[in-house]
Amino acid sequence: MRHLRDILAVAALVALPLSAPRAEDAGAMALALAAADVRDWVTARDAARASGPMAEALVGWQALRLGHGGFDDYLAFLRVHGDWPGLALLRQRGDGKLRPDLPAEAIREWLGDRLPDSLATETAWLATLDEDAARAERARFWREVPLSAAEETAFLAAHGDELAPLHPARAVAMLDRQEWAQAERLLPRLPEARQPLLKARIALQAGRAGVDDLILALPTDQRADPGLTLDRFLWRVRAKQHEGAQALMLEASASAETLRMPDLWASMRVDYARLAMRAGDWARAERLAAPHFLTPDNRHYADLEWLAGYAALKQGAADRALEHFLHLEEVVASLISKARAHYWQGRAHEALGDDAAAARAYAKGAAMPGTYYGQLAAEKARVTMPADYAVTGEATDSLPDWRGSALRENNVFQAALWLVATGRKDDAQRFLLHLAETAGPEDIGRMSRLMYEAGAPWHGLRLSKQAANKGIIYPAAHFPLTGLEKKELGLPPELVLSIARQESEFNHTVSSHAGAKGLMQVLPGTAQDMARKIGEPYDLPRLTTDAAYNARLGAAYLAGLRDRFGTSVALTASGYNAGPGRPARWLNDFGDLRRDFDPVDWVELIPFDETRNYVMRVTEAMPVYRARIQGKPAPLVPTWELTGGGLMPPPPVRLTLALSARPQAKPFIGPRLPQGWITPISAASATE
Same domain for 139 and 23: no
User: How many Å apart are CA 12 and CA 55, to the nearest integer?
Assistant: 10
Q: Which of these three, 46, 69, 97, is where a domain ends?
A: 97
| Three-state helix/strand/coil letters over 441-456 | HHHHHHHHHHHHHCCC
Same domain for 124 and 20: no
Instruction: Go through 48-65 and write b for each residue having 16 or more CB atoms within 10 A of its CB, e for each that does not.
Output: bbebbbbbbbbbbbbbbb
Element (H, E) at 10: none
**Inter-helix orientation angle 53-65/71-81, to 10°:** 130
Quick one: pLDDT at residue 235? 98
Q: Are the CB atoms for 486 and 464 separated by under 8 Å?
A: no
Asked if the model's pLDDT at residue 97 lies above 90, the reply is: yes
Same domain for 497 and 637: yes
Whole-Å CA distances, 454 to 418, 420, 423, 428: 12, 7, 9, 11
Closest listed residue to residue 555, CA positions, set 576, 525, 582, 528: 576
Whole-Å CA distances, 144 to 118, 138, 258, 359, 688: 11, 10, 21, 52, 68
522 three-class SS: strand
Angle at 686 between CA 681 and CA 688, to 5 degrees: 100
> Which residue range forms the structural domain that includes residue 429?
394-478
Quick one: pLDDT at residue 23? 72
Q: Is residue 73 domain-resident?
A: yes
- The count of domains in the chain is 4
Asked if the model's pLDDT at residue 281 lies above 60, the reply is: yes
- Tell me the pLDDT tens digit for each residue of 128-152: 999 999 999 999 999 999 999 999 9
- Tell me the pLDDT tens digit for each residue of 175-219: 999 999 999 999 999 999 999 999 999 999 999 999 999 999 999
Q: Which of these three, 173, 190, 207, is where a domain ends?
A: 190
Taking residues 639-659, report their average pLDDT: 73
User: How many Å apart are CA 606 and CA 650, to the nearest integer?
Assistant: 25
Lowest mean pLDDT segment, chosen from 44-58, 648-662, 664-678: 664-678
Element (H, E) at 504: helix 493-504
- Tell me the pLDDT tens digit for each residue of 390-415: 999 999 999 999 999 999 999 999 99
Quick one: pLDDT at residue 646? 77
For residue 291, whether the previous peptide bond is cis, meaning omega lies within 30 degrees of 0, is: yes
Query: Residue 538's domain is classified under what CATH number?
Result: 1.10.530.10
Quick one: pLDDT at residue 616? 99
647 three-class SS: coil
Q: Is residue 275 domain-resident?
A: no
Same domain for 602 and 527: yes
Same domain for 528 and 632: yes
Same domain for 557 and 419: no
Q: Which of these three, 190, 208, 229, is where a domain ends?
A: 190
Q: Is residue 572 domain-resident?
A: yes
Asked if the model's pLDDT at residue 688 lies above 90, the reply is: no
List phi, psi (to 5°) of 517: -130, 140
Same domain for 104 and 90: no
- Tell me the pLDDT tens digit for each residue of 600-648: 999 999 999 999 999 999 999 999 999 999 999 999 999 999 999 877 8
Same domain for 637 and 536: yes
User: How many Å apart are CA 146 and CA 159, to the nearest integer?
Assistant: 16
Asked if the model's pLDDT at residue 679 lies above 70, the reply is: no
Confidence band, pLDDT 50/70/90 cuts, at residue 16: very low
527 CB contacts (<8 Å, ≥6 apart)? 517, 538, 540, 543, 550, 553
Q: Is residue 470 domain-resident?
A: yes
Q: Is residue 310 domain-resident?
A: no
Same domain for 46 and 103: no
User: How many Å apart are CA 325 and CA 379, to the nearest integer?
Assistant: 19
Return contacts of 165-174, CB within 8 angstroms, 24+ apart: 166/139, 166/142, 168/194, 169/143, 170/142, 170/143, 171/198, 172/198, 172/227, 173/143, 173/144, 174/146
Asked if the model's pLDDT at residue 676 lies above 60, the reply is: no
Q: Is residue 669 domain-resident?
A: no
Q: Is residue 198 domain-resident?
A: no
Confidence band, pLDDT 50/70/90 cuts, at residue 653: low
Q: Is residue 260 domain-resident?
A: no
Single pTM value for the model: 0.90
Asked if the model's pLDDT at residue 269 lies above 90, the reply is: yes
467 CB contacts (<8 Å, ≥6 apart)? 436, 441, 442, 444, 445, 448, 473, 474, 477, 478
Asked if the model's pLDDT at residue 650 lies above 90, the reply is: no
Same domain for 500 and 649: yes
Same domain for 163 and 137: yes
Same domain for 634 and 520: yes
